[in-house]
Structure 1
Amino acid sequence: MAKARIPEEMFRVTTPASRCSYLADEKSALTYRVYLDISPGELEQLIRRGWRRFTGHIFRPSCPACQKCVPIRVPVQQSELSKSQRRVMRRNEHVRYVIQPPTVTDDHIRLYNAWHDERTASRGWHRSRVNAQQYWENFLVGDYPSLHEMLFYEEDRLLGVSLIDVMPNSTSSVYFFYDPNWAPRSPGTFSGLCEIEAARQAGREYVYFGYWIGDCPSMAYKNRFQPYELLEGYPADDEEPNWVLHGSLGSTP
């Protein structure tokens, strides 16, 4: 099957360098490509080259003196659970998930606001509660048939929402929020493992987990899904990306 082409964006812009929100001693900048719509196959070609999608923006780091944001993906057919990940699965054995086109419900809004309130209290995030219209504008605006949601339930109670892009040969994590009371059972790890398993069952090859930053604890965990691949540099549209395999199950407790 022929690979989808990379479409021309409406416009492209790079932000001025500013204080990095992940590494305090670094300056960060992002290059944005703006599309009104993009097919799953076209999006996949961009993500293979280190780009990310959030609403109508396709972005990639363009930092002046730092390349510590490294695109990471997991080859799902090779992935295996570590001992600690098996414990996470056991602690969540009664949690089920469904994957469907994105929706906005009262439960979504309640869950997002509770999650963000907890982040405001524990991490000093700016307070940001949303209503249904704001949720749609923040996460769902635009014509992106790749966008789906992975809903996590315990019995009939919504525990978490993972927004993902589903593409021909891969999926990509976009955003995840959850009930703060679920936190002791490692929902981030659990949702990542479920995304890997869902992609495997669907016959896809990779799950993209955004950027791995080894010096940032909130981003360094991503290489616990093993083995994993890291992208070398940020290839141009006409360059073939080079993903390098790293890690082994034996190195992860």
Structure 2
Amino acid sequence: MSSLRTLVFFATPPHHCSYLPDRQATTMFVDPRATIDKRLYSQLTALGFRRSGSHYYRPHCENCNACIPVRLKVEPFEPDRGQRRVMVRNEDLTCTLTPAAFTEDGYRLYARYIEQRHRDGDMYPPSREQFLSFLVEGATDSWFLEMRLDDRLVGLAAVDVLDDGLSAIYTVFDPDLEKRSLGTFAVLWQIEEARRRGLPHLYLGYWIRECRKMNYKTRFRPIEALKDGHWRPLKEA
């Protein structure tokens, strides 16, 4: 079994940055031959790593530290007025956790979301193989939050269970239901699920100050950032 001391890491050559178009990025990956159990995955996440399928990675850019790992402290969180409206707006949804697995309705929702909202991104065009490699493969205590409206799947959030929290991996939703703010609703649901399980954190991935698409993360408070190996309130980091 692998441990932090025995892990081997690899860095990619510089490549186009997906978030800041005028910059080059380098990514550090855990050796894909390593055996990553839940305990080690939790340790890696606390060190700023993320999971994409069976790959565990974090930014490792030489002249840029714009990508900041962030997590929410669950217990003291209280929704603001806008978040409370989102919760009320979606009271008619049925939400269930199912083991992360490929389904046709899940893939169709994913494909519509990518095609209509991320045609300019690295994930376009979508494919079944991409869905599997990104959201299903490498699953370790991994689940899909299914959001249904009258039995119709309208939202799907991939979430991992860690030793000290939940990790919000990715969320897709019906582009025609944008006014429901299903992305925000999925985060609110995961906060409550972490609280129900007695887990202290919800890991929200990376936050980049200059990236408008990530602004929503700072609306969940109290939010912490990983800086110089320590988690501290984002405003201090």
| Same-fold status (TM-score > 0.5) | yes
Alpha-carbon offset, residue 184 of structure 1: 1.6
How do residues 34-45 of structure 1 correspond to structure 2 at under 5 angstroms? 34-35=31-32, 37-45=35-43
Matched residue, 2:55 = 57
CA distance in 2, matches of 1:69, 1:182: 29
Tell me the TM-score normalised to structure 1 length: 0.85
Q: 1:127 to 1:18 in 2, by over 3 A?
A: closer
**Following the alignment from structure 1 to structure 2, what is the Cα–Cα distance between the partners of residues 246 and 138?**
28
Aligned partner of 2:184 in structure 1 is 189
Percent of pairs with identical residues: 33
Which stretches in structure 2 are left out of the alignment for 5+ residues? none
Residues in 2 aligned to 1:146 and 1:212: alpha-carbon distance in whole angstroms: 24
1:22 counterpart residue number: 19
137 and 52 in structure 1: CA distance in 2 versus 1, 3 angstrom threshold: closer
Distance in 2 separating the partners of 1:126 and 1:80: 34
Q: Deviations over 1:159-213 (max 9, x none)?
A: 1111111012211111111111121211111111111111011110000000011
Structure-2 residue corresponding to 1:205: 200
CA RMSD of aligned residues (A): 2.1
Matches within 5 A, 1:1-253: 6=4, 8-9=6-7, 11-35=8-32, 37-120=35-118, 123=120, 127-131=124-128, 134-142=130-138, 144-233=139-228, 235=229, 242-246=230-234
Structure 1 residues 215 and 129: alpha-carbon distance in aligned structure 2, compared to 1, 3 A threshold:
closer
Q: Which residue of 2 aligns with 1:239?
A: none
5+ residue gaps, structure 1, are 236-241, 248-253
Cα deviation 1:72-123 (Å, max 9, x = unaligned) = 00010011101111111111111131112112222112111111111255x4
In 2 relative to 1, CA 126–176 (structure 1 residues): closer, same or farther, beyond 3 Å? closer
Deviations 1:204-229 (A, max 9, x none): 00000000111110112211101111
CA distance in 2, matches of 1:176, 1:190: 10
